């Protein structure tokens, strides 16, 4: 998956200081060492060459930002693909100190190299998605008041059906992450092999019975519903990008008494 960064977002300036002699070629000597979408690029450095250049100019600080076009200075939410030597990567402009103009060469970096140099990667966003706290779904039981009848279709549903967004800062960039419920796993607490049910349906209130369970024994049970979220994100005001992995949040169990009904004759 391509790293996604928003247009106009300023990348974090990473201070990279090394000791030792300069080992990289000067910017004007980089030559036709790579390609971009099948077109030769004159000044394109690999990750190793980029690190070597920074090591040889350690009296400055550097930052990287994604580049969209061949030789362009445009920032984008999804860098162009490139290749140098025997590896493929993504195209980045390299900035020195607080300059708004990039150096006169570009870096072709793998996602690991971009991360080391301060570039946001999809893996970092996915990690944030997984560690953030997302809402646990409440379970609503009908009949209400914590009691239901044995051999009766008890109705279940949840009100957690809408997306939730959170904004975090990752390596100096504002990232909005959105989690949308896409699946529910119902635990009816009956201690039976058929006591769990997975649906994409959140259920509904009576009389629209879509998620039900019939208890066959009296006693206390503890139903709950887990929620599976799909995620997407955007950096700044850039376009939305999907997060490949889903996330499941366990629900809190409710207390439910399964009782039997005893008929009584009444007078008229």
- Compute CA distances 219 → 104, 174, 191, 265, whole Å: 75, 51, 12, 26
What's the pLDDT score for residue 109? 87
What's the pLDDT score for residue 167? 96
List the beta bridge partners of residue 220. 257
What's the pLDDT score for residue 135? 98
Q: Summarize pLDDT for 81-136 with one digit per residue, the tens.
A: 888 877 788 888 888 887 878 888 888 888 778 877 766 677 778 889 999 999 99
Please state whether the predicted TM-score (pTM) of the whole model is above 0.85.
no
More confident residue, 257 or 10: 257
Q: Within 10 Å of residue 49's Cβ, how many Cβ atoms?
A: 21
- What is the pLDDT of the chain when averaged over all its residues? 79
Walk me through the domains of the chain, giving residue ranges and CATH numbers: 27-120 (no CATH), 127-259 (2.60.40.10)
| Beta-carbon-side half-sphere exposure of residue 92 (alpha carbons within 13 Å) | 32
In the three-class reduction of DSSP (H, G, I as helix; E, B as strand; rest coil), residue 188 is classed as coil
Burial zone of 245 (CB within 10 Å; 0-12 exposed, 13-18 middle, 19+ buried):
exposed
Q: Summarize pLDDT for 141-168 with one digit per residue, the tens.
A: 999 999 999 999 999 999 999 999 999 9
């Amino acid at each position: 998956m391509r790293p996604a960064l928003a247009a106009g977002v300023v990348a974090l300036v990473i201070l990279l200081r090394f000791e030792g002699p300069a080992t990289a070629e000067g910017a004007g000597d980089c030559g036709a060492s790579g390609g971009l979408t099948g077109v030769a690029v004159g000044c394109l450095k690999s990750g190793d060459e980029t690190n070597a250049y920074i090591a040889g100019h350690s009296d400055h600080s550097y930052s990287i930002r994604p580049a969209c076009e061949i030789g362009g200075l445009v920032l984008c939410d999804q860098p162009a693909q490139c290749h140098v030597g025997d590896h493929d990567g993504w195209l980045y402009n390299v900035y020195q100190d607080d300059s708004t103009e990039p150096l006169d060469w570009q870096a072709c970096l793998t996602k690991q190299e971009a991360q080391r140099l301060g570039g946001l990667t999809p893996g970092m966003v996915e990690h944030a998605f997984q560690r953030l706290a997302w809402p646990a779904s409440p379970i609503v039981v009908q009949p209400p008041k914590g009691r239901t009848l044995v051999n009766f279709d008890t109705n279940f549903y949840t009100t957690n059906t809408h997306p939730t967004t959170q904004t975090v800062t990752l390596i100096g960039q504002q990232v909005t992450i959105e989690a949308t419920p896409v699946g529910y796993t119902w635990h009816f607490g009956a201690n039976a092999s058929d006591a769990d049910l997975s649906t994409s349906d959140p259920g509904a209130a009576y009389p629209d019975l879509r998620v039900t369970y019939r208890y066959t024994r009296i006693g206390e049970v503890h139903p709950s519903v887990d929620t599976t979220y799909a995620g997407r994100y955007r950096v700044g005001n850039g376009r939305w990008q999907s997060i490949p992995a889903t996330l499941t949040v366990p629900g809190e169990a409710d207390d439910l008494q399964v009782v039997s009904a005893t008929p009584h004759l009444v007078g008229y």
